[in-house]
Amino acid sequence: MIKLFIADDHELFREGLKSLLSREKDIEIVGSASDGLEAVNAVRRLKPEVVLMDVTMPNMNGIQATAKICSELPDIAVIVISMHNDRRFIAEALKAGARGYVLKESSPELMLDAIRTVSRNEVFFSPKVCTVLVSDYLRLLGNEEVGRASPLSEREMEVLQLLVKGRNGKQVADALSISKNTVDTHRRRIMDKLGCESMAELTKYAIREGFLTLE
């Protein structure tokens, strides 16, 4: 059972999410909040596994609240939910420690996939968010940076591209016609080669170093 906390200052959206997600047998909503400060205090007390965090809230915004939660309680996975797919918001969410960034326009199925994915200590981004991140960072890096040699093999690059786009182990395995155990082996090797200890670090590294290509 995934213990979930929801923070959003729009009551209609917050209650709609609670109604939708409470129907899922593997999700238990342990609490909710309408501002960032209230969310931080409640999360400290309730210790959920996953937090859905709106960006724009009174008293303390979602980015600040995410940073506090991730700093004090690093085992809790925060998914930032927002109407904005601007790079600045996404980058700040990542720097704060968020494991996911989902647009509010996303389907219920995608939201559920995000919650279940980050609960497994993986990362998840809406497709539009991933495109913004990758395209912007590649443009900033420039041709010289993008063109430098990668320490990863061709297969490892394929696995990396899918992982940082929010695919879970089974989805990567299906896409590449390999076993999930093979995907897990590739993931460990990739993280060893790049000196990353978590999927969040791996995602930041991959984007920063230009190891991704747009499809």
pLDDT at residue 179 is higher than 50: yes
3-class state of residue 33 by DSSP: strand
- Alpha helix (H) residue ranges in the chain: 11-21, 36-46, 62-72, 87-96, 108-119, 127-146, 154-164, 169-176, 180-194, 199-209
Q: What is the pLDDT of residue 205?
A: 72
On whether the 2-125 domain is CATH 3.30.470.20, my answer is no
Amino acid identity, position 37: L
Interval 5-34 mean pLDDT: 94
Q: What is the pLDDT of residue 193?
A: 82
Instruction: Identify the bridge partners of residue 52 per DSSP, sorted by sequence position.
Output: 6, 79
CA distance 138 to 150: 14
In words, the CATH class of domain 131-209 is mainly alpha
Spans of all domains in the chain: 2-125, 131-209
3-class state of residue 78 by DSSP: strand
pLDDT: which is higher, 37 or 152: 37
Residue from 158, 39, 134, 150 nearest 85 by CA? 134
DSSP states of 107-125? -HHHHHHHHHHHHTT--EE
Binned at pLDDT 50, 70 and 90, residue 167 comes out as: confident
pLDDT, mean over the chain: 86
What share of the chain in percent tops pLDDT 90?
57
